[in-house]
Amino acid sequence: MKYPLSLTVNDENYDILVEPYHTLMEAIRDGVGLTGTKCACDDGRCGACTVLLDGTLVKSCLVPALQAQGKSVLTIEGLGTPDNLHPLQVAFLEHGAVQCGYCTPGMLLTAKNLLDENPDPTEEDIRTALRGNLCRCGVYTHATQAILSTAKRDTA
C-alpha cells in the first residue's frame, strides 16, 4: 500500500507516494528524480548514497523513506551547482580527488558534515570521518588533502 510522503529536498518541497518498505534512496532517486545520490552496494557498506537528513549524516539506502516525512534532505544537487560549485567540490577538482566519481557525492556530503562540526580537522579526523565512504579507485589520499585544504582556506 502506497503512502504519501512530503519532504523537502534541497529546499524544494516534494509530495510523492512510497511503499512502507521503500528506502529514502529510492524516494530521492525514483520519486523525486534526483540521481546524484548513488546506489552501489545497496546494503549499507559503501556510503555512495550518503545524504544529510535534517542535518544528520545517514546512508539513504538504510533509512525507511517514511521516516523522512516532513524532514529536509540535502543531496549532492543541493551542495553546489555547475556554475557555483561548493568550495569542497572545487578542492576535489583541484586535488584530482575523483576518478570514476561514483563515490564522490557521498564523500562530499560526509566532508561537508565533518567541516560543519569541526572546521579545523586533523588528517586523522578526516580519515575517521571517511570511514563509511568506500572508494574502489582509491582516491582517499587526494580526498583527504582536498578536505584539509578547504578547512585551511576557511579557517585562514
Partner 1 sequence: MIDCHYVEPTTVDEACRLLAEHGDGGMVVAGGQVLSLLRYHGLIEPSCLVSLQHVAGLDGITAEEEGVKIGAMVTLHRLESVGQEHPTLWALSEAVKNIADRQIRNHGTLSGNICAAHQASDINTVLMALNASVKLVNPNGERIVNLHDFVTDAFTTTAEPGELLTEVIVPHFATPRSAAAYHRFALRAGDYPVVSVGTFVSLDEAGLCLEGRIVLGNCLGAPTHAAEAEQRLQGCNVVQDDQSLAEAANLAAANVTPWDEPMASGEYKKDLVSVLTREALTEAVASAVAVK
Ligand X SMILES: Cc1cc2nc3c(=O)[nH]c(=O)nc-3n(C[C@H](O)[C@H](O)[C@H](O)COP(=O)(O)OP(=O)(O)OC[C@H]3O[C@@H](n4cnc5c(N)ncnc54)[C@H](O)[C@@H]3O)c2cc1C
Interface characters, 95-114, with partner 1 (x: CB under 8 A) = ---------------x--x-
Q: Does 84 bind partner 1 (CB under 8 A)?
A: no
Can you read off the three cell numbers belonging to residue 134?
Answer: 568506500
Q: Does 19 bind partner 1 (CB under 8 A)?
A: yes
CA distance 58 to 52: 6
Rounded alpha-carbon distances, angstroms, from residue 151 to 25, 121, 123, 127: 29, 7, 11, 14
List the end-to-end C-alpha distance of the chain, in Å, as a whole number: 53
Can you read off the three cell numbers belonging to residue 117?
Answer: 562540526
Q: Supply the minimum distance, in Å, between the C-beta of residue 43 and ligand X.
A: 7
Q: Does 20 bind ligand X (CB under 6 A)?
A: no
CA distance 98 to 104: 7
58-117 residues in contact with ligand X (CB under 6 A) are: 62
> Binding residues for ligand X, how many (CB under 6 A)?
3
Residue closest to ligand X, measured at CB: 44
> Binding residues for partner 1, how many (CB under 8 A)?
28
Dmax over CA atoms of the chain, in Å, equals: 53
Range in contact with partner 1 (rule: CB under 8 A) among 83-91, 125-133, 136-144, 145-153: 125-133
Q: Does 32 bind partner 1 (CB under 8 A)?
A: no
Contacts to ligand X by CB under 6 A: 44-45, 62
